[in-house]
Structure 1
């Protein structure tokens, strides 16, 4: 009788656990993480959703653009954030090979561009028009870049064609890259508190555009032709003589995911976050000191019904 009772209890316990036996493979699904807080939060939540569905997962740190090599070969499996602003060319090239699949919009709309604090408008009349920058490049100069102004770009791995844009538009600026996402925003905080000159890469969704009073530089309007054809745009001899695109943040996957883990592929396609959700979560981590895991756990608890809908 004891043996029968134990078996019943064991069955009840197993029934309460995720349906591991029902997933197509227990080989780990490798999700890429990069070097900014929001993307790591995003990927951690997707990992939690997949694990709740019974899938085995791994987080693998990878460069934002270089990750496509691994996605093409199947060494990496899912990437949660390919920004229309900086990653569209690499994504389209990878999808064209047939080895990478666009898994749809991730729910957020991306803006990435040069940004300055509003107090700089008194020192540089004409802002936010990009043509004002050369009239006051010295206002943005540092001892390392003078007489050129200094533009603080994101980490080199983010791409973005800032050096090409400076050359194409004839800007009297030197691009200096921050080493990390954290370093970028630490320098902004320091400059803002001192009202020191700064123009830098800022992006949304993020807490910074809400916390700091400032504006994005208004460059000539982006077009795909501006990036692809030197004859298009205000400089007939150079591409990238325009601003950066805006648009969706995409999800991509190795093409084999749909065959090996079709249920997981469907979850990835369904999974979305909003700009508002992401801004709040990044703020909780970067400003309030919460851990990424705690923030992801709270999101999972607050959105349990939505997650169950993605899984079932």
Structure 2
């Protein structure tokens, strides 16, 4: 990926080495959405949720056409907790090591793409903040350790990543390459897009009333849509001429290596499909490629067709 010399986002909060990532509010908000790095957790959803989420995705653009800002509606809802700053109200600036520069550049590229997509639909794209941390971090979704992998917290609209994850991605899972690393960020930003258009707030509301199996099935659809949104970002990044030979294959390989079935075979030697909550390797690759090929949000409707 040709990233050097390009704009870097200023929406970076560097908490590395700051007392285990402590800072800001301890208030919890519903579920952080993470990249899995082993095993398979569970999430709860609600019955009949698929059709409701489809309506939300479509309704987002209808609201914009009527002159209503969906982001303002979300800010007024109880599912969103206020953002926060570090102690003393100061935002730490990222140290200028190469990896933090890379992350800031990829985040800037996601900002440019999603700003354009939202503008094309008459909407404004509120940019997320990306938090760099070491070992553990406190977010509006509670405490999290590096072992849980990168995640997005809808309560503060921030993406969190311990950069040591990239070493694990390459060495433990065999998914190396800068575009594989970019895919991880683009997936979490995809969750931010879902938050803005109403998918995540509805998901967090509904998931408390379903059985574990039903909740996992809904979670898979949410995660695969984030993969597809990451592919949409990849589509426009490719159009800019930033991708190099082998970059697409790097992203697809990363999607393959963190599929639920692949992770479970690696960790326990067998798979339990009812416990999947991110999607199989094949599903994750398919939906990323679908977004990459089309560059359209309407190609990412994981809720109204078989996944």
TM-score by length of 1: 0.24
CA radius of gyration, larger in: 1
Structure showing the higher helix proportion among its residues: 2
In the superposition, the TM-score normalised over structure 2's length comes to 0.24
- Quick check: which one's strand share is greater? 1
